[in-house]
Structure 1
């Protein structure tokens, strides 16, 4: 409604033109990604139409484009195909995929209503890079047989590689298909690099159809898309068995997570470029509505597309009218020209998917992780191997698990150090970064960069005791407590035990700059009585000065390397 009230007449021509340009990409990609998901090509067009219309009504972004996505295709196939009968019943596959879309829609709508946008952050960038790299390799290998004109029934990356190599060795490759597929890949990549404003996929599709007709490639063993069903997308309530729901639900959770992460990242990127504000929860509701609409019209789960949104933006799109135009043109094609893509060769669709998979891989980002932080590089590699060796759905579970474990690892073993005074610089600083920092005889200032909870409380205790051992005749330990944002009950017990241990050695344990909420929590635990009010100082400086005035200690340079 806001778009209608603020729509400018000068935007109309730009939206119409952008809609036409966008359609040239929506049609071939929609069909290609449907086949990637193991579904008939027509379902990709049905899905594109319904998700574009639904998002135009509910979506907060002016130009974000939704549709079938290369990153979701393998996840849909991994969920649906094991449930399809051995005879490959396409109607059952479509019904399962439609229920999957409805489930994804319900999950994302509920997440949006519950304001759970942070769920998309469960996958860290290093693990997402690894996941996408593994996904790119999985997609590439899975499309190679189609590119070479034959098919395999292998499962898993290693099995697919083995089946493809054996197919080549058995002479199953069709030379004409190899020529068409390879030529289409080269053409798309050259046009995208040399003439980025030219619709590379459209040019490839037109030339591929022309070559198929001109050289009668169907007679040379090249499989074609064939005539698409005529008419509008049919409203369908999918019919499945009750025992299908559990595996579909597991797949829907993974797909929803990837879809949300993709949507939030793309929405943020394009909102920044267009001056809009990101409304993450509204985006989740809108993506849910788009999935639900697709599921009721023989569609499958969708996500946002950075490449299609970029095409619409470059073509001058101003509002979601661009997507409505694209949906209308696809409907006109289905009603008036269902045979338009009859002679499109299947290797050309494989070329569309393969070039899309190459864009998923982030080799430069992987190399950057190696240079910047080895631990995150190995997280990336582990996520890659999870997808490549275990499969797409287990791979997303591995990626999420690794991200959570990485957060836990950082909280479990946070950075801790001893602080000293650097002449001419205010405050107290890490003696590792400043080897010449000054310290007071008998005083240790320790900083532990994490909240204290059950998993790291003993690590904190050990770090304090280690720091004390390195000081001759220690008399006081000051905890620079500004990074300590919480103390749970387990950590409180460890603190009390640590205080008794240090007091038994004649060493005081005091805190500087402890946040008020944490101080109140400590009071509820009764630790303020055990420590006494003299153990809490508003700043580290005040704690250090209290020790100096009490002991007369003088500053001395440290020998810490």
Structure 2
């Protein structure tokens, strides 16, 4: 009996794993489509994996190791049917900013890989802990305007950082300004390698043209094949063009990253930033593709999937990963139905490393730079920035501040600034919420903003005031000051009715402020009245003891009921545009 129960618990636990559920519900007619999509996806995974590894300051082979393991990890634990994870252009600069300063001058590759792998494990830990705590809402910490600014800054950082590689030389600098100065100096000194520039610029132009004119053609694969052919035919390595060279043969070994204890602090800061960006990116892409397939987005389960992908990559010489919208779109267009597409892609990369590790030995480095630069251009959203300028200047300024934070302080401080600005913007809206006086508009039901309807009718001696936010410590005094201003009107009102439907909470600080306000108003023979106060908030007010000063009879279920009570008591008649 005990054995049967234990077996049932094990089976129940296995059925909770997304990958197991996917296998149990797999349909035979999906197989051919998943296999074809896996082959098509691999043509993108390999060059992008190597390019984004170099963007992160790591050897190209680590991009392939990362691609293999994260695809397998997400296939087991990820909830989405077709979402594709892997090395990402938005994470590359963040990884480099975290790892390279710790790797030291000269950039010891083995130490850099160990640090990047530990970073992946720490991102996995953050995601798993966040999954346990159900913190999927953390992805909402970055507002759209600040994310636009952050991504614009990231795009500029990547573009400036990759231009030297595109043109065949190197620039040693730690800041964007330093890279710009170094780039100009090198250009002035004639450091450009013509053959490298031809490959790099030609690759960028080819990618942009193919993506715009022939979107169904695998542009990256076409460009990479042509670049390898050009390297072989024209012997580009003898003309100063760097090549990828032969990749290490075989499957990546299981490795526990060897890092120093004092590395953990800087890595933790980088892991938190990467986790926030990765989760926000994943939720955004998952939502977009789920809408097309009829799936539901499960933020907490996505965190488990990202955590598993990073965990797998971290133990096999990989680095942190995120969702790729472009690779997911390629898989979808190729007919992908399940995560078997990613498994096929991982298997083909392994076969390549085992059987033909020299397949990409003649791939020019400028071609990889071209892949990264075109990816960076897709991160930028200039039309979105212009739209913010036209629609809401405050959010435009938030976007520009986030952009400048990335450009002048770096990508890690930039994401911290983006999150801080988003949170502060929430507080700003709650601190100084919209408030207005309401009046009656003939022909329209209810009571309406007198700013929108200047001729709205009002009752002499009555002010209907709406404050569009919960009442808490940060805005309670703002509310108090506005009510006092209304009470000093000429002539002063006898009732101030608060249309309290937007007040979803009143905290203890606000309760103390309300008590003092009501006492002051009572001394001036002005009554504070509440209408449409939600039951949970009303119960809090009673628990705070505010009904000692605020008359219990001055709580009404609707504004209409409060107005009716006032008219019954005073006999007041509606007047147009007067109070």
The whole-number CA distance in structure 2 between the counterparts of 1:87 and 1:383 is 31
The whole-number CA distance in structure 2 between the counterparts of 1:107 and 1:88 is 27
The whole-number CA distance in structure 1 between the counterparts of 2:108 and 2:152 is 31
* 1:279 lines up with 2:298 in the alignment: yes
Deviation at 1:235, TM superposition (A): 0.8
The whole-number CA distance in structure 1 between the counterparts of 2:486 and 2:164 is 62
Q: Which runs of 5+ in 2 are unaligned?
A: 1-19
User: What's the counterpart of residue 122 of structure 2?
Assistant: 103
The whole-number CA distance in structure 2 between the counterparts of 1:469 and 1:371 is 38
TM-score (norm 1): 0.99
Match of 1:265 among 276, 284, 287: 284
Deviation at 1:493, TM superposition (A): 1.2
Deviation at 1:498, TM superposition (A): 1.1
Match of 2:62 among 39, 43, 46: 43
Does structure 2 conserve the Cα–Cα contact (< 8 Å) formed by 1:442 and 1:471? no
Does structure 1 conserve the Cα–Cα contact (< 8 Å) formed by 2:56 and 2:95? yes
Match of 2:387 among 362, 365, 368: 368
Does structure 2 conserve the Cα–Cα contact (< 8 Å) formed by 1:444 and 1:471? no
* 1:333 lines up with 2:347 in the alignment: no
What are the superposed Cα offsets for residues 496-519 of structure 1, whole Å, 9 maximum, x if unpaired?
111111111111111011111111
The whole-number CA distance in structure 2 between the counterparts of 1:167 and 1:448 is 59
What are the superposed Cα offsets for residues 503-551 of structure 1, whole Å, 9 maximum, x if unpaired?
1111111101111111111111100121121111111111111111111
Does structure 1 conserve the Cα–Cα contact (< 8 Å) formed by 2:38 and 2:331? yes
Number of aligned residues: 560
How does 1:353-392 map onto structure 2 within 5 Å?
353-392=372-411
User: What's the counterpart of residue 81 of structure 2?
Assistant: 62
Deviation at 1:2, TM superposition (A): 1.8
Match of 1:505 among 512, 516, 524: 524
The whole-number CA distance in structure 2 between the counterparts of 1:15 and 1:196 is 20
The whole-number CA distance in structure 2 between the counterparts of 1:488 and 1:281 is 30
Q: Which runs of 5+ in 1 are unaligned?
A: none
* 1:230 lines up with 2:230 in the alignment: no
Deviation at 1:172, TM superposition (A): 1.3
Deviation at 1:559, TM superposition (A): 5.4
Does structure 1 conserve the Cα–Cα contact (< 8 Å) formed by 2:82 and 2:328? yes
User: What's the counterpart of residue 180 of structure 2?
Assistant: 161
Deviation at 1:473, TM superposition (A): 3.6
Deviation at 1:471, TM superposition (A): 4.2
The whole-number CA distance in structure 2 between the counterparts of 1:376 and 1:63 is 34
Deviation at 1:383, TM superposition (A): 0.5
* 1:82 lines up with 2:101 in the alignment: yes
User: What's the counterpart of residue 454 of structure 2?
Assistant: 435
Does structure 1 conserve the Cα–Cα contact (< 8 Å) formed by 2:457 and 2:578? no
Q: Which shows bigger deviation, 390-399 or 150-159?
A: 150-159
TM-score (norm 2): 0.96
**Structure 1 residue runs of 4 or more that deviate by more than 4 Å after TM superposition:** none
How does 1:409-558 map onto structure 2 within 5 Å?
409-558=428-577
The whole-number CA distance in structure 1 between the counterparts of 2:490 and 2:372 is 64
The whole-number CA distance in structure 2 between the counterparts of 1:408 and 1:84 is 39
The whole-number CA distance in structure 1 between the counterparts of 2:87 and 2:492 is 69
Does structure 2 conserve the Cα–Cα contact (< 8 Å) formed by 1:435 and 1:559? no
User: What's the counterpart of residue 223 of structure 2?
Assistant: 204
Does structure 2 conserve the Cα–Cα contact (< 8 Å) formed by 1:136 and 1:357? yes
Does structure 1 conserve the Cα–Cα contact (< 8 Å) formed by 2:460 and 2:578? no
Deviation at 1:278, TM superposition (A): 1.0
User: What's the counterpart of residue 3 of structure 1?
Assistant: 22
User: What's the counterpart of residue 136 of structure 1?
Assistant: 155
